[in-house]
Amino acid sequence: MYDRYDGLIFDMDGTILDTEPTHRKAWREVLGRYDLRFDEPSVVALNGSPTWRIAQHIIEQNQASFDPYVLAQEKTAAVKTMLLDSVQPLPLIDVVKQWHGRRPMSVGTGSESAIAEALLTHLGLRHYFAAVVAADHIQHPKPAPDTFLRCAELMGVAPQKCVVFEDADFGLQAARDAGMDAVDVRLL
């Protein structure tokens, strides 16, 4: 099915790993410290965005005056304490295993590199991927195409010869803007 591609790129959160419940729990914990709330559908719409961008959205929703980078750091710290014990692979990991050794593969994620590397290593999945490109590795994260273009570069594959597996609109836009085909895993 994916024989025509020279490289496979996977989003992480919600695509190959079930991290969403843990991310929401961490947001509730951190925001509760400041009596802030978040509208879940609007935050879900930002999936694939870096944490600081989601923090900025939440701050604006609450008409609060916080530094989005500081709030994002607090949320990341909360997530780190929760993720390793709670996250499991999603069924798409079978595609990763099936194509391992047959095509170069990478992860292009909106998460920070420390979280991505820790999760993939903890779950015994890191060895499947030639590269992991996280939000803190590039200047312009999703929906900009930079994450996926960097993945292609690190795999040594032309962007137009790559396919991206994504679960978020921002990620699908980034793949299209990178000149790559994309699979919306929500439709699988």
Question: What residues are labeled active site?
Answer: 11
Q: Which token pair is 110?
A: 């909106």
Phi-psi region of 151 (alpha: psi -120 to 50; beta: other; left: phi over 0): alpha
Estimate the crossing angle of helix 68-86 against helix 113-122, to 10 degrees.
Answer: 0
Q: Which token pair is 99?
A: 């194509």
List Cβ neighbours of 146 (8 Å cut-off, separation of 6 or more).
138, 139, 140, 174
Closest to 92 (Cα-Cα) out of 21, 151, 14, 148: 14
Tell me how far apart the alpha carbons of residues 187 and 35 are, in angstroms, rounded to a whole number: 36
Q: What value does the CA radius of gyration of the chain take, rounded to a whole number of Å?
A: 16
